[in-house]
Amino acid sequence: MTHRPEPPELLALDPVVIEGASGPAAAPLSAPAVRCRHVVKIYEAASGRVFAVRGIDLDVEGGCTTGVVGPSGSGKSSLLRMIAGLELPSAGSVEIDGIDLTSLSTKRRARTRAQLVTHVHQRPPDNLLSHLTAAQQLARLVPREADPDVVADALQTLGLDGHHDHRPAELSSGEQQRLALARAIVAGHRLVIADEPTAQLDGESTRAVLAAIDRLAARGVTVLVATHDARVLPHLQQVIALRDGAIASITEAGTERAVIDRGGRLQLPMAARDAFSEDRAVIRVDDDGNVRIERP
Amino acid sequence: MTDRRAIAAWLAVPWRDRALLFALMAAAATPAFLIASADLWRSAAADEIARRVMVDAPATDDEVVVETPAWLRPDEVMAADDAARTVFDEADSLGPARRTVVLPPSPRDVLETDEGASIRVPLRLVHHEGADTDLDLTANVTTDGGIGIWISTWLAAEFGLAAGDRLTSRECVDVPADRCVRTVPADGFTVLGVTDPLWREPGDQGPVATVDGLDAALVPQFIAPFGLPNFAIVFVDEPTMADLGVQASMVWRAEREEAIDGLRSLESATAEIRTIERRFVQTPSVAGPVAELAAGAGAVDVRSTLPTSLATTRSLIADLDQPFAAARLAGVALGLAACAAGGVFVVARSRREFRLLAGEGDRWPEFAGRAVAQSVAPAIVGTVLGVVLALVVAEAELGVGRFDALDLRPILVVAVVAVAGNALATGIAGERSLGDRPPLASAELLAAGLLVMAATTALLWFQVGRGNRDGGVDLAVVLLPIAGLATAVAIVMFGIGAGLRRTTGFARRLGPMRLLLWRRLDGGGVGERTVVAFTAVAIGVTLLAGALVETLDRTLTRDLATELGGATRVELIGPLPEGVVLPERTTVIGLSSTRVSPGNRAATVIMVDPGTVADAVVWPDDIGIDLDVALDLLASDAGDDLPALALVDQTLPVTGGFGLRDVVRYETVGRLRSAPLASAGEPSLLVAADRLDAFVADERARVGAAASLRPPSREARQRLVSALGAAEVQAFLDDLDVRYRNVVTDDARRADADIVGPRFAFGYLRWLGIVAVLIATVALAFQLSARRAVRSLTTVLTVRMGASPNRLALVTAAEIVVLLVISSVVALLAAQPLAARLLPRFDPTPDLPPRPELVWSFGPLAVRIAIVLVAVGATVWASERWASDRQAVEVLRDTPT
């Protein structure tokens, strides 16, 4: 077996546990904050159809910080955009707080999105309106019935209390991202979806953003983060690895679990795939029900 | 929960972003500019019509004349005169009024001199203010008493009178006996506006002559039953006239000091006349003294033909409505297109903000509302700027930069529609900014679009042809060149794209860098391609419209030269008297419808007088040969035949005979493409009238025909052609008491809406083309700016692959310029059949030779295209250089996901 160098974006977490098909798809006891069922996303392009997401089943518990990882083109952004209600799946359903986004009209979906979700883009300037100050950015999101001090509170919570009157151009990238996260606090959102929020940040800014995410999680906010950044992983309770539009593994509490989809297909983690150079494996199930994958 | 500061900051967004502000303002300014320009073009056309109408207007339009019957009593005269002068003084455009008092002609008066000589003579006493300074006095002015009368030279000669002689009138006109002859003017009639033909050569007069151009009350009848004149105007000074106590006619006459140079001044002058009329009739301070002066003898008459001229002008201008509306519609369409382009840029510029807000749940009403709020102020400023710019440009180009010429309603409506339309589009774009990417335009979709464009062009092509010569300028006429050019350019651009895609395999063999350039040319963006195609179409429209305007001008000049012969053409009903001396620059052309043998073909023989024709007729260059050469040919020796000039393209025998009673053998000694008064329906032969008469006289003598037969040139239908104006020609004919009809002038024909309309419409279309080129150049810069991130990525990658930034920028600029050159050439080629299709529709007299030929001004256009190419090339180069100056990391960070 030839050992190939590990690509930087891959996660190599051992040991890998292979679950049955009912694993992640099984309904948890409490209603999850995010539930995806058989989600498929197909883009129509000039060169033909592009299958971005190929039937994902996923549950994310409320208050959980979840990472979505995978190589470029694996479907991370498409999945997160569908969960955020920014796009509709080509097939399947996406629920947030028990609301099936696919069954809503455009208007109601937009309203639901406005009520439930904060979306944080990769580029800090994309999350803010350039002409408003930090306080104004947040104030416009505060519901009428909310406490007027919520803006100051949010800014203080995320370490931005000295920047009330600063416009985005006067803030660092890390501060901009934290301000973007603060929107969730003032808007009372229960779900934050961040698409590589630290990709353009230096170490110190990254740490500040991660601290902000921790604070959000402490407030019970469900955080869903797509990332390539290994520094983010320790802050996540659950990591979902995607490959070719499907879930390759789910890692919780240091245990990486491979996923068998409804068609019985198993995606091995990349590190495990490297062990099978001919893309062939022998699967043995012993008397105790343990499954072993061996090289042929 | 948004505070006021946030709202203010929101509204101030465009004012913080110069590009955004420019786009919003330009989007509003462009339609305002184009619509305002259309109004101003129409105003220029209206002014031109007014000027041409005024050229043919009677000379009396140059003054205002108020006439009232009057009993000549000093107090009443002075009171009415003071009141009347007040009215004239308050009229801005009129000079000081001058008063003329005329007594009715006496049937036969008796003038007696101190020596007791007397003669019975019909007298007309006239007092003319300013006569003592205006008249050319031939005798010394007596200082005796300062009161006296002025008599004509004829009267002085008839009575042997001189200054200082006493003169008494008895019986009909009671001139007091103490009046003396103050002076003897030579030009009394001239001062009144006419020349007394009896003044110098009494024997030349016919039995009765009427002098036109003079107020009816002043027109003298020259009665000379025995061949001698026996009538005289006697100028009388004011005290003499005022003391007579008889009924007279009092006239105030004020000259117009400001020439009428357009519709506005014509309207203003007409309104002034109506004001004067109202004051003389209704205002007590004026109407009272005047009525007292008239003492019930009659009503005041304010005489002016200006209201008629204004009505004529307005009627002609009303005929411009259709071409005006059609042309303006094209302006509105272009304006809205520019406006939409601005909207697209705004959307592209705000894409990041839209994605964020759409992500937060904003829907199209919120986006549209914000767009309205943000764009209203720039739209107002832009609209104002557009209107001001139109006024400035129109003043410089057309001399009609007047605000009151504008119809603001359509400008405001289009501005509102533009803002609302852009807001709606922005709303939809904003809401959809998060959605799935729209499917790219497929080749099938493009092909279908091209088919629709081609079908539309074909439809318009047949529609324009069907309404040949009757339809004037309608929407189809305006749309055909635009649709035709757009179709041709789009097909070629589509073909280039398809060709490049099919040859990508070949490009791969050129190496990575060239492949990148190739791909860039191929997929340079729909936006750039659209702008390039738009530019080419605009260039084509400019050329086409310019060619049509120039061709229409030239065709009109040529047609009028054929139809009228000169500035004025009059159809004489009877022949001119034998031996009459024509006015200068005037000739008589004879026309005879006859048969030409062999072939027995109907033809028209045009007989010109070689002695006078050269100074009278218009002889355009494209007739084929110079007038002097033509006259030399007509005077050349053709043996026993009469030399004649025939028209090319008309099949008459080179030698043959024409005439019914007198058969004239002719030989064609030259060919013309046209000739003055050439027939529209049948071939024409041009001959010299004197040679023809001599030829026929010889023939008649040879066969012994009756000597009393009139020469052919006098038997022919006679047309008087003159370089003079209609008024002078008519005055001449009236003096001779010659009957005539159909007085047609060059200026009147050029004022026809059928002629002004197309010229205006295509002139405006050319204007649109020029503006569209400017818009396209600016739009290209904005398009490149909007696609900055994508272009920067390509540029940086190419530079990192080894290309020098300078070279890359030059190559990219060259790519766009090459595309532009190709599409412009296509547009220029397509413009030719389109113009040829349109031209026959606007030939003012389509049957008159020669046939119109399109005049293409490639020279000035080449200069303009070169300027556009340099501007576009520089824009692209600058954009590329700027893009390549950025760092790769910066570019990648900016690249939209």
Task: Give B747-761 pLDDT, tens digit per residue.
Answer: 877 777 677 777 778
How much is the CA Rg of chain A, to the nearest whole Å? 20
∠ CA B738-B744-B746, rounded to 5°:
135
Task: Name every chain A residue with its beta carbon within 8 A of the beta carbon of B897.
Answer: 77, 122
Name the residue in chain B with its Cα closest to that of A78.
Answer: B436
- A131:B360 CB<8 A: no
Name the residue in chain B with its Cα closest to that of A148.
Answer: B1
CA distance A112 to chain B (A): 8
Is the domain of B316 the same as that of B296? no
- B362:A110 CB<8 A: yes
Tell me whether strands B109-113 and B167-170 are parallel, antiparallel or unpaired: antiparallel
**Cα–Cα distance for residue pair B793/B884, rounded to 1 Å:** 9
Of B9, B359, B893, the CB nearest to A132: B9
- A136:B5 CB<8 A: yes
Q: DSSP letter string over B237-303?
A: -HHHHHTS-SEEEEEEEEEBSS---SHHHHHHHHHHHHHHHHHHHT-HHHHHHHHHHHTTS---EEE
Residue type, A293: I
- A141:B360 CB<8 A: yes
Is the domain of B146 the same as that of B123? yes
Residue type, B17: D
Residue B33 half-sphere exposure toward CB, CA atoms < 13 A: 26
Is the domain of B229 the same as that of B344? no
Residue A289 half-sphere exposure toward CB, CA atoms < 13 A: 3
Tokens 């999105």 belong to which residue? Answer: A113
Strand order in the sheet with B118-121: B118-121, B109-113, B167-170
Is the domain of B229 the same as that of B374? no
> Given CB atoms, is A90 within the 8 Å cutoff of chain B?
no
Instruction: Identify the residue with better confidence: B502 or A168.
Output: A168
Mutate to test the interface with B, among A131, A145, A166, A177 (most CBs of B within 10 A): A131
How far is Cα of residue B820 from the mean position of the Cα atoms in its chain?
35
How far is Cα of residue B665 from the mean position of the Cα atoms in its chain?
45
**Cα–Cα distance for residue pair B781/B883, rounded to 1 Å:** 13
Task: State the angle between helix axes of B321-349 and B753-786 in degrees (0 to 180), rounded to the nearest 10.
Answer: 0
pLDDT-derived band at A62, boundaries 50, 70, 90:
confident
The yes-or-no verdict on residue B764 having pLDDT over 70 is yes
> Given CB atoms, is B13 within the 8 Å cutoff of chain A?
yes
Cβ-Cβ contacts under 8 Å for B756 (sequence gap 6 or more): B45, B48, B49, B316, B320, B750
Q: Among residues of chain B, what percentage have pLDDT more than 90?
A: 5
Cβ-Cβ contacts under 8 Å for B501 (sequence gap 6 or more): B522
Residue type, B326: A
Asked if residue B225 is part of any domain, the answer here is yes
Partners of residue B251 on adjacent β-strands: B67, B100
Of B1, B352, B355, the CB nearest to A140: B1
Say if residues B290 and B68 touch (Cβ distance below 8 Å): yes
Look at residue A259 in the predicted model and tell me its pLDDT: 80
Look at residue B132 in the predicted model and tell me its pLDDT: 56
**Cα–Cα distance for residue pair B757/B318, rounded to 1 Å:** 10
- A136:B12 CB<8 A: no
CA distance B353 to chain A (A): 6
Is the domain of B288 the same as that of B316? no
Asked if residue B875 is part of any domain, the answer here is no
Tokens 């919780």 belong to which residue? Answer: A252
Say if residues B664 and B553 touch (Cβ distance below 8 Å): no
Q: Where are the domains of chain A?
A: 16-25+62-84+119-294
What residues of chain B, 341 to 400, have a C-beta less than 8 Å from chain A? Answer: 352-353, 355-363
Mapped onto helix, strand or coil, the DSSP state of residue B887 is: coil
Dihedrals phi, psi of B167, to nearest 5 degrees: -140, 130
The yes-or-no verdict on residue B846 having pLDDT over 70 is no
- B10:A132 CB<8 A: yes
CA distance B484 to chain A (A): 30
Among the listed ranges A167-181, B214-228, B400-414, B872-886, which one has the minimum average pLDDT value? Answer: B214-228
Is the domain of B646 the same as that of B618? yes
Assess: ipTM above 0.85.
no
> Which one, of B574, B572, B600, B603, lies nearest residue B586 by Cα?
B572
The pLDDT tens digits of the residues spanning B799-830 come to 666 667 777 777 777 777 877 888 888 888 88
Cβ-Cβ contacts under 8 Å for B536 (sequence gap 6 or more): B485, B489, B820, B823, B824, B826, B827
The four Cα atoms B378, B381, B386, B390 give a dihedral, to 10 degrees, of -170
Say if residues A81 and A117 touch (Cβ distance below 8 Å): no
CA distance B436 to chain A (A): 7
Is the domain of B125 the same as that of B205? yes
Domain-ending residue, one of B738, B773, B798: B738
> Which one, of B528, B721, B535, B533, lies nearest residue B614 by Cα?
B721
Task: Name every chain B residue with its beta carbon within 8 A of the beta carbon of A107.
Answer: 363
Asked if residue B564 is part of any domain, the answer here is no
pLDDT-derived band at B3, boundaries 50, 70, 90:
low
Q: DSSP letter string over B375-403?
A: HHHHHHHHHHHHHHHHHHHHHHHTS---G
The pLDDT tens digits of the residues spanning B181-210 come to 655 554 444 444 433 433 333 333 333 333
> Which one, of B106, B194, B113, B201, lies nearest residue B153 by Cα?
B201
Look at residue B389 in the predicted model and tell me its pLDDT: 92
Mapped onto helix, strand or coil, the DSSP state of residue B219 is: coil
Domain-ending residue, one of B738, B771, B800: B738
The pLDDT tens digits of the residues spanning B262-280 come to 888 889 889 988 899 888 8
> Given CB atoms, is B661 within the 8 Å cutoff of chain A?
no
- B16:A131 CB<8 A: yes
> Which one, of A68, A58, A126, A97, lies nearest residue A189 by Cα?
A97
- B6:A114 CB<8 A: no
Residue type, B405: A
Counting the structural domains of chain B, the total is: 4
Beta strands per DSSP E along chain A = 16-18, 34-45, 48-60, 65-69, 91-96, 99-100, 117-120, 191-195, 222-226, 238-243, 246-252, 255-258, 282-285, 291-294
How far is Cα of residue A248 from the mean position of the Cα atoms in its chain?
14
What residues of chain B, 688 to 707, have a C-beta less than 8 Å from chain A? Answer: none
- B440:A45 CB<8 A: yes
Look at residue B885 in the predicted model and tell me its pLDDT: 60
Tokens 């070949």 belong to which residue? Answer: B506
**Cα–Cα distance for residue pair B170/B112, rounded to 1 Å:** 8
Asked if residue B536 is part of any domain, the answer here is no
Domain around B220: 109-243
Tell me whether strands A282-285 and B167-170 are parallel, antiparallel or unpaired: unpaired
Say if residues B838 and B758 touch (Cβ distance below 8 Å): no
The stretch A244-265 carries a mean pLDDT of: 80
DSSP letter at B137?
B
The yes-or-no verdict on residue A126 having pLDDT over 80 is yes
> Which one, of B772, B686, B703, B722, lies nearest residue B614 by Cα?
B722
Is the domain of B681 the same as that of B706? yes
> Which one, of A172, A256, A238, lies nearest residue A208 by Cα?
A172
Of A112, A122, A142, the CB nearest to B1: A142
Tokens 């006289």 belong to which residue? Answer: B697
The pLDDT tens digits of the residues spanning B529-541 come to 777 888 888 888 8
Tell me whether strands B568-572 and B740-745 are parallel, antiparallel or unpaired: antiparallel
**Cα–Cα distance for residue pair B818/B822, rounded to 1 Å:** 6
Tell me whether strands B167-170 and B148-150 are parallel, antiparallel or unpaired: unpaired
The pLDDT tens digits of the residues spanning B47-86 come to 888 888 887 676 666 778 888 888 888 888 888 888 888 8
**Cα–Cα distance for residue pair B505/B384, rounded to 1 Å:** 53
Say if residues B666 and B642 touch (Cβ distance below 8 Å): yes
Q: Tell me yes or no: is domain A16-25+62-84+119-294 CATH 3.60.20.10.
A: no
Token duo for residue B673 = 């493409």
Dihedrals phi, psi of B470, to nearest 5 degrees: -115, -25
Asked if residue B405 is part of any domain, the answer here is yes
Look at residue B825 in the predicted model and tell me its pLDDT: 87
Of A122, A127, A140, the CB nearest to B6: A140
Task: Name every chain B residue with its beta carbon within 8 A of the beta carbon of A139.
Answer: 1-3, 6
The stretch A207-211 carries a mean pLDDT of: 84
What residues of chain A, 49 to 78, have a C-beta less than 8 Å from chain B? Answer: 77
Task: Name every chain A residue with its beta carbon within 8 A of the beta carbon of B353.
Answer: 129-130
> Given CB atoms, is A105 within the 8 Å cutoff of chain B?
no
CA distances from B91 to B267, B761, B893 (A): 14, 37, 74
Is the domain of B233 the same as that of B261? no
Mapped onto helix, strand or coil, the DSSP state of residue B418 is: helix
DSSP letter at B711?
P
- B356:A129 CB<8 A: yes
First to last CA, chain A: 12
Q: CB pairs below 8 Å between A and B: how many? A: 79
DSSP letter at B231?
-
Asked if residue B885 is part of any domain, the answer here is no
How far is Cα of residue A153 from the mean position of the Cα atoms in its chain?
26
Task: Name every chain A residue with its beta carbon within 8 A of the beta carbon of B437.
Answer: 43
Mapped onto helix, strand or coil, the DSSP state of residue B800 is: helix
Look at residue A94 in the predicted model and tell me its pLDDT: 93
Helix residue ranges per DSSP H, B440-525: 443-466, 475-502, 504-508, 512-522
Is the domain of B678 the same as that of B629? yes
Strand order in the sheet with A48-60: A48-60, A34-45, A91-96, A99-100
Say if residues B842 and B471 touch (Cβ distance below 8 Å): no
The stretch B379-388 carries a mean pLDDT of: 93
Mapped onto helix, strand or coil, the DSSP state of residue B706 is: coil
Q: How many residues are given for chain B?
A: 897
> Given CB atoms, is A45 within the 8 Å cutoff of chain B?
yes
Look at residue B209 in the predicted model and tell me its pLDDT: 32
> Given CB atoms, is A142 within the 8 Å cutoff of chain B?
yes
Task: Name every chain B residue with its beta carbon within 8 A of the beta carbon of A192.
Answer: none
> Given CB atoms, is B438 within the 8 Å cutoff of chain A?
no
The pLDDT tens digits of the residues spanning B385-432 come to 999 999 998 888 888 888 888 889 989 998 898 889 888 888 888 887
Is the domain of B729 the same as that of B599? yes
First to last CA, chain B: 31
Say if residues B14 and B741 touch (Cβ distance below 8 Å): no
Token duo for residue B207 = 């039995």
Is the domain of B586 the same as that of B734? yes
Mutate to test the interface with B, among A53, A87, A129, A133 (most CBs of B within 10 A): A129
Asked if residue B337 is part of any domain, the answer here is yes
**Cα–Cα distance for residue pair B692/B712, rounded to 1 Å:** 7
DSSP letter at B606?
E
CA distance A126 to chain B (A): 6
Task: Name every chain A residue with its beta carbon within 8 A of the beta carbon of B895.
Answer: none
Tell me whether strands A282-285 and A34-45 are parallel, antiparallel or unpaired: unpaired
